[in-house]
Amino acid sequence: QVQLVESGGGLVQSGDSLTLACEFFGGAFYDYTMGWFRQAPGREREFVAAIRGSGGTPYYTDSVKGRFTISRNYRKNAVDLQMNSLTSDDTAVYYCNVDFRTAASPWITKTAWGQGTPVNVSS
């Protein structure tokens, strides 16, 4: 069973940087896309960034373009999210997500979520 474990959240001040990591266990993926979502208090979960396992151009929501960078960590099965110039608008619980297919069932796309890691940016 695929498991995602996030780390790196915390309390920072406006303008600071923070790096989130998402490590996945329990899967040998035929194809996958990993991403980050976030949910602020009282708001719906929203997409932040994503990258395909095979590489290629990452995707970002407009509000984080130029500030956040998503990248694969090939030393371990992980994806990092480097967040720079943080503002209070970035305060949220950040969730790691993977959409994947396995070699055994390449026609089926499955989804897994991490438990979330909180990021609090004080102004």
pLDDT tens-digit profile of 82-103?
A: 999 999 999 999 999 999 988 8
Cα distance between residue 93 and residue 39, in whole Å: 5
Cα distance between residue 21 and residue 73, in whole Å: 9
Cα distance between residue 90 and residue 73, in whole Å: 23
In angstroms, the Cα distances linking 83 to 53, 80, 107 are: 20, 10, 34
74 falls in which pLDDT band (50, 70, 90)?
Answer: confident
The confidence score (pLDDT) of residue 2 equals 87
Per-residue pLDDT of 11-61, as tens digits, reads: 999 999 999 999 988 877 778 899 999 999 999 999 999 999 887 899 999
The confidence score (pLDDT) of residue 63 equals 97
